Amino acid sequence: MVGIIMGSDSDLKVMQDAAAMLQYFNIEFELTVVSAHRTPLRMVEYASKAASRGLKVIIAGAGGAAHLPGMVAAITTLPVIGVPVKSSNSIDGWDSVLSILQMPNGVPVATVALNAAKNAGILAAQIIGTSNTEVADALIRYKEELNSSVEEKIRKLSA
Ligand code: RP5
């Protein structure tokens, strides 16, 4: 249902947080490496077949000259969530953030914060939740748990 792709296996340590959230919300996903620069034909194949294969959302993470999310968004009509990964050669991750964020009019990528694959997983769940009541209910519970965990901390602070 959700495709998680990344430019390199070195992105996995960040991107596994997206997979963990999809597991939490009981959403099927696949996870693979697709490089815009090193395997461009594979990228075109993946993006052009994603919708007909039944995917609903693509989460794409990349670092440095992070063209993968934008190029996939250029090909597919599915929503693409971009995760800027701070790779080892990064200039503090700004290269990744700006490469993914600064898309031209007409080709949006929903860009999350640097290394924020967890939020990408939640955002994908929210998209799926618009047409899936089980996921929508799980998201309500998740919000309630977030709220309770903060209230608990506030109680402890004021005790
Ligand atoms: C990008 O270059 C990848 O997304 C990764 O973040 C970065 C470095 O890749 P490796 O050299 O570690 O394979 O394409």
Q: Quick: pLDDT tens for 121-141.
A: 999 999 999 999 999 999 999
ipTM exceeds 0.95, yes or no: yes
Cβ proximity of 60 and 71 under 8 Å: no
Instruction: In whole angstroms, give the CA distance from residue 4 to residue 157.
Output: 39
pLDDT-based confidence at residue 89 (cuts at 50, 70, 90): confident
Task: Decide yes or no: CATH 3.40.50.1970 for domain 2-132.
Answer: yes
Whether residue 62 has its Cβ less than 6 Å from ligand 1: yes
Average pLDDT of the chain, as a whole number: 97
Ligand 1 atom closest to the Cα of residue 88 is: 8
Give dist(CA 84, CA 97) in Å, integer. 5
Pocket flag, ligand 1, residue 64 (CB < 6 Å): yes
pLDDT at position 79, please? 98
The residue contributing the CA closest to ligand 1 atom 7 is 63
pLDDT digits (tens, 9 = 90+) for 71-86: 999 999 999 999 999 9
Residue 159 pLDDT > 90: no
Can you give the pLDDT at residue 88? 84
- Average pLDDT for residues 40-58, to the nearest whole number? 98
For ligand 1, the distance from its centroid to the CA atom of residue 107, given in whole angstroms, is 23
For the Cβ of 115 lying below 6 angstroms from any atom of ligand 1, the answer is no
Measure the CA–CA gap between 136 and 121, rounded to whole angstroms: 14
Confidence band, pLDDT 50/70/90 cuts, at residue 27: very high
Give the pLDDT confidence score for residue 70 in this predicted structure.
98
Each residue of 109-125: pLDDT tens digit? 999 999 999 999 999 99
Q: What is the pTM of this model?
A: 0.96
pLDDT score for 110: 98
Measure the CA–CA gap between 79 and 55, rounded to whole angstroms. 10
Residue in this structure with the two tokens 């929903």, named with its chain if needed: 110
What is the structure's pLDDT at 150?
97
Cα 71 to middle of ligand 1, angstroms: 16
Domain boundaries, the chain: 2-132
- Kindly give the distance from the C-alpha atom of residue 97 to the centroid of ligand 1, in angstroms, as a whole number: 14
Candidate of 11, 59, 90 to mutate for ligand 1, largest count of ligand atoms within 8 Å of Cβ: 11
> Residue with the nearest Cα to atom 2 of ligand 1?
63
